[in-house]
Amino acid sequence: MRVGVVTFPGTLDDHDAARAVRFAGGEALSLWHGDSDLQGVAGVILPGGFSYGDYLRCGAIARFSPIMSAIIPAAEKGLPVLGICNGFQVLCESHLLPGALTRNSELHFLCRDQEIEIVNNESAWTSDFSNGERIIIPLKNGEGSFQCDDRTLNELESNNRVIARYVGLNPNGSRNSIAGITNARGNVVGVMPHPEHAVDPLTGPTADGLAFFTSLMKTRI
């Protein structure tokens, strides 16, 4: 299965995302922000980093790049898309996912191994987990606080669209300790901590993140 990994100017984690795809048994295809051809990929990953220097707002400029003009309509038709960290911010700015990511409540950039609980294993990117599974993957961001209005929060909670929550102390002030969400269809997922940095115990704290990528391999489109 070919999975596209997008590189914006300022993207940092595209190589780890591509490696995670290969570890999961897929083929990673690099997609450049200035291109608008998805080259028939079966899924897309928007990796972490600081696209366009985080100018204006995180993800705000990336959202208007040519590659996003191709990804947005494809995602609306069901193409699996995973946004990690900055990628999650791009998905919110694109309105593929509701809410927004704002400054961490304590204003510090956090970089640590974080325990999260998978609370919805029905999305395209979480089906290889069991519900309630607790995993440890790196969290590293300054603007990771998930915020939305009460109506959106109710909608997310009542429709089982939260896919992961932080375990223990809420690290960044995210509403309801939300670490990741999905769209109504379950093909678009945004997650703040980094599964692609935890696919191999040699280079990460665990291999717990790998199941995000093996989940996609099991998804039939």
What residues make contact with other proteins under the rule CB under 8 A?
56-57, 60, 64, 92-93, 95, 98-100, 102-107, 145, 147-150, 173
* Nearest distance from C-beta of residue 172 to other proteins, angstroms: 9
Nearer to other proteins, 100 or 217 (CB): 100
Nearer to other proteins, 98 or 209 (CB): 98
CA dihedral 179, 138, 220, 178 (to 10 degrees): 0
Helix%, strand%, coil% for the chain, nearest 5: 25, 25, 45
Distance CA 153, CA 46 (A): 24
Backbone angles phi and psi of 152, in degrees to 5? -65, -40
* Nearest distance from C-beta of residue 115 to other proteins, angstroms: 23
Helix (H) or strand (E) run with residue 206 in it: none
Nearer to other proteins, 88 or 129 (CB): 88
* Nearest distance from C-beta of residue 21 to other proteins, angstroms: 30
* Nearest distance from C-beta of residue 100 to other proteins, angstroms: 4
- Cα 40 to chain centroid distance, Å, stands at 21
Is the CB of residue 28 less than 8 Å from the CB of residue 38? no
Catalytic residues: 85, 194, 196
Nearer to other proteins, 50 or 213 (CB): 50
At position 201, the amino acid (one-letter code) is P
CA angle 38, 56, 3 (to 5 degrees): 20
Distance CA 83, CA 45 (A): 6
- 204's tokens: 């990460």
Nearer to other proteins, 15 or 103 (CB): 103
* Nearest distance from C-beta of residue 79 to other proteins, angstroms: 23
Distance CA 54, CA 183 (A): 24
DSSP conformational letter for 79: -
